[in-house]
């Protein structure tokens, strides 16, 4: 009977461990599903912003009383305002990059004749290329910020139940 008691105790312990494992597995699956839902909302935001951004320039967009447009309009306008500001910064950086590339192209009109000139030109060219890389990095950061704004638009436009 002592044996039966101990077997019952072990069975309860094993079954309890199985249940705990099943609960942990379900919780992990829920977390993964939540991440997937959020990822899809973000992708939807990028797609929807790209599709809807053109209509923000049309007068009908502001005059319509359509319920869906009325719900999305404030979110879209906020995202559009922020993205247009970043587009201005990106355009400015593009201009800076074009100028830097033109300066680098004009900096060496004749090829170097000896090793001293080659070393000097190499150092000067490397410095100019580093400046261009800095501008390209700035543009990449701006593009990343724009992507995040579009993703946030998708998450805001699709609130969780």
At residue 87, the pLDDT reads 96
Judge whether 150 and 45 are in contact, CB under 8 Å. yes
pLDDT value of residue 7: 72
Per-residue model confidence as pLDDT tens for the chain (161 residues) = 666 777 777 788 778 888 889 899 999 999 999 999 999 999 999 999 998 888 888 887 777 777 877 788 889 999 999 999 999 999 999 999 999 999 988 888 778 888 888 888 888 889 999 999 999 999 999 999 999 999 999 999 888 76
CB proximity list for 128: less than 8 A, separation 6 or greater? 100, 103, 104, 107
> Phi/psi zone of residue 153: left (φ > 0), alpha (ψ -120 to 50 degrees), beta?
alpha
CA distances from residue 43 to 52, 139, 145, 151, 161 in whole angstroms, order as listed: 14, 21, 15, 6, 19
Cα–Cα dist 55/73, whole Å:
10
Q: What is the pLDDT of residue 43?
A: 95
DSSP letter (8 states) at residue 110: S
Q: Are 82 and 148 a contacting pair, CB within 8 Å?
A: no
d(CA 24, CA 80): 42
């Amino acid at each position: 009977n002592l044996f039966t008691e101990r077997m019952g105790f072990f069975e309860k312990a094993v079954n309890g461990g199985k249940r705990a494992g099943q609960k942990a597995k379900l919780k992990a699956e829920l977390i993964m599903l939540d991440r997937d839902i959020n990822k899809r909302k973000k992708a939807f935001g990028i797609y929807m912003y790209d599709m809807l951004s053109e209509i923000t320039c049309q007068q009908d967009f502001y005059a319509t009383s359509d319920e869906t447009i009325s719900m999305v309009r404030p979110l879209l306008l906020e995202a559009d305002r922020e993205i247009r500001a970043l587009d201005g910064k990106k355009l400015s950086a593009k201009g800076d990059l074009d100028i830097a590339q033109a300066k680098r192209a004009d900096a060496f009109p004749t090829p170097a004749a000896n090793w001293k000139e080659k070393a000097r030109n190499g150092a000067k060219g490397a410095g100019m290329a580093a400046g261009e890389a800095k501008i390209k990095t700035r543009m990449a950061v701006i593009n990343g910020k724009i992507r995040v704004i579009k993703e946030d638009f998708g998450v805001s436009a699709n609130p969780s139940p």
